Structure 1
Amino acid sequence: MSTSIHLATIAGFDPSGGAGILADIKTFASLGFEACGVITANTLQTHHSFLRLSWTDEQEMLEQLVLILKTYPINHLKIGLVKDAHQLGKIIDCIYRYVANPFIVWDPVLSSSTGFVFHQGWKNDFDCLNRISVITPNAIEFAKLWPQGIDGFRGEMRFAIYLKGGHRVDKKGTDTLFWANESIDLCGQPFPKVDRHGSGCVFASALTAYHLSGLELIEAARKAKQFTEAYLLEQKISATTN
């Protein structure tokens, strides 16, 4: 386990531990890293249902973030559930105020896997998004964030997009990493569908940790995909044996 804390997650709290800040911390720990956490929301949910959430007081949340950034040499951060684009911008501003050249991964959680919708509408701010390193939507989230498709905004894009393939119609199960004017497909091993929420949290956290370990973005993405697939397969085996 690393003795210095260079990682942080800014996300919601899921009492079942399947998603959000607990899933992030568990992923970091399994890869050998300690991490700090800032809670954006408290949820009432399990693997099978989502009842409601309450947003953390924004000032208190930002004070948590400032405290850990002033205390620990954090330079890699994963962001999950946030209240809205305005709050995301405040979080990004805060990070850049205390961290030089941060590596930021945003997993845009727009709804829960059980169907609870967190955001009815989302207004993109490219000045904010361009200070993020990688955004990791699934196909449904991508379509909501950028209904015009990637060609409609690629000229404005200074961040990378890792499009997860689980919900894709065109390339089912194939992930695509977009950056600058380039892209690469990452194909995984097919296996039966796993009824498990939080895989997006696991992937984004693994990507953040692998990049911290020194891997370039493409290789970190490959390793994070392999890690997430192994995690899902383990959950599938566990579900069939219990």
Structure 2
Amino acid sequence: MDSKYIPTLTIAGSDSCGGAGIQADIKTMSALGCYACSVVTAVTAQDTLRVHQVMDVPVAMVVSQLHAVLNDISPVAIKTGMIGNAEIAAAVAVELETAPRVPLVVDPVMVATSGDPLMRAGTLYIVTGRLLPLATIVTPNIPEAEAMADMKIVSDDDVWTAAARILAFGCKAVLIKGGHAEGTTKTDRLLTADGTRHEYCSATINTPNTHGTGCTLSSAITAFLARGCRLDEAVGKAKEYLEKALDAGKEVAVGHGHGAVDHFFNPEKLIIKR
């Protein structure tokens, strides 16, 4: 019998403490039954308290990694995470523009959970102008959506307005995450290019271990798209996976700051068999 893995690709930065970035992406994709490949855009020295140092990978090396994976393994879904400078963003866009089109999840990582910046000036312009037109879905949190849409978000109506503005960059769908909102519930809102709206509500989980939640959610969406789910279904299943990972890891102590979720809590029942 000819057996095959379900290959996925994450293009993002490395997190030395293992809770976010490439490490969280690989854990998530693996937990959800995919074979995770990676292109490292930056190396960070960070712990659960803060980012101590960031070193961008040379553009030529980023491109070489992309060629190696795309030409040999042919991932069936791709996500981008931390892209720290405009040169890397432009190079990634060029490679993805000419690669076979597969679902692309763009997570516009701008700031770490600790509050340290991860995207330098000029990068967002390339991300919105070059990567978003290729994207199946873009997954900003509220501060990221405010930056992309050039507006403040203070109400539910503002969320939909911001999502529409981001759609104008050419992506097929926008998921604005509600994790930064106060209250007993968190609501993520999905707007697709045809105007369809979806809301995904969940109870707020009281935990300090929120490091890498955005990376985890976008990677889970990528994994479920790779497994053949519809976009709205992939988002719903990814959110369910993240909720369970947050709950399973809510009392686990890792480091002295924002710890990570439990990526391997046993997500088998969430997986759709191919």
Scaled by the length of structure 2, the TM-score of the pair is 0.80
**Native 8 Å contact 1:84 1:119 kept in 2:** yes
**Native 8 Å contact 2:164 2:191 kept in 1:** no
Displacement of 1:193: 3.6
Q: 1:195 to 1:237 in 2, by over 3 A?
A: closer
**Aligned match of 1:173 in 164, 167, 186?**
186
Displacement of 1:117: 1.1
- Cα deviation, 1:80-111, whole Å, max 9, x if unaligned, reads 00023553232132123232x21111111101
Q: 1:156 to 1:15 in 2, by over 3 A?
A: closer
How far, CA to CA, are the matches of 2:164 and 2:62 in structure 1?
35
Q: Which moved more, 1:119-128 or 1:4-13?
A: 119-128
Partner residue of 1:142? Answer: 145
Structure 2 counterparts to residues 231-242 of structure 1, below 5 A: 231-239=245-253
Partner residue of 2:136? Answer: 133
Scaled by the length of structure 1, the TM-score of the pair is 0.90
Amino acid at match of 1:183: R
Q: Which moved more, 1:26-35 or 1:90-99?
A: 90-99
How far, CA to CA, are the matches of 1:51 and 1:37 in structure 2?
23
Partner residue of 2:172? Answer: 159
How far, CA to CA, are the matches of 1:151 and 1:161 in structure 2?
8
Displacement of 1:43: 0.3
How far, CA to CA, are the matches of 2:242 and 2:42 in structure 1?
24
Structure 1's consecutive aligned runs of 4 or more residues displaced over 6 angstroms after TM superposition are none
SS at match of 1:237: coil
Partner residue of 2:158? Answer: none
How far, CA to CA, are the matches of 1:150 and 1:203 in structure 2?
18
Partner residue of 1:34? Answer: 35
Q: 1:120 to 1:64 in 2, by over 3 A?
A: closer
Structure 2 counterparts to residues 1-242 of structure 1, below 5 A: 3-99=4-100, 101-119=101-119, 121=121, 122-123=124-125, 125-148=128-151, 149-152=162-165, 154-168=167-181, 173-180=186-193, 181-239=195-253
Where does the alignment leave 5 or more consecutive residues of structure 1 unmatched?
none
SS at match of 1:161: strand
How far, CA to CA, are the matches of 2:91 and 2:34 in structure 1?
26
Q: CA RMSD in A?
A: 2.2
Structure ranking higher on relative contact order (CA contacts 8 Å, 6+ apart): 2
Displacement of 1:212: 1.1
Q: 1:96 to 1:139 in 2, by over 3 A?
A: same
Where does the alignment leave 5 or more consecutive residues of structure 2 unmatched?
152-161, 255-274
Displacement of 1:153: 5.4
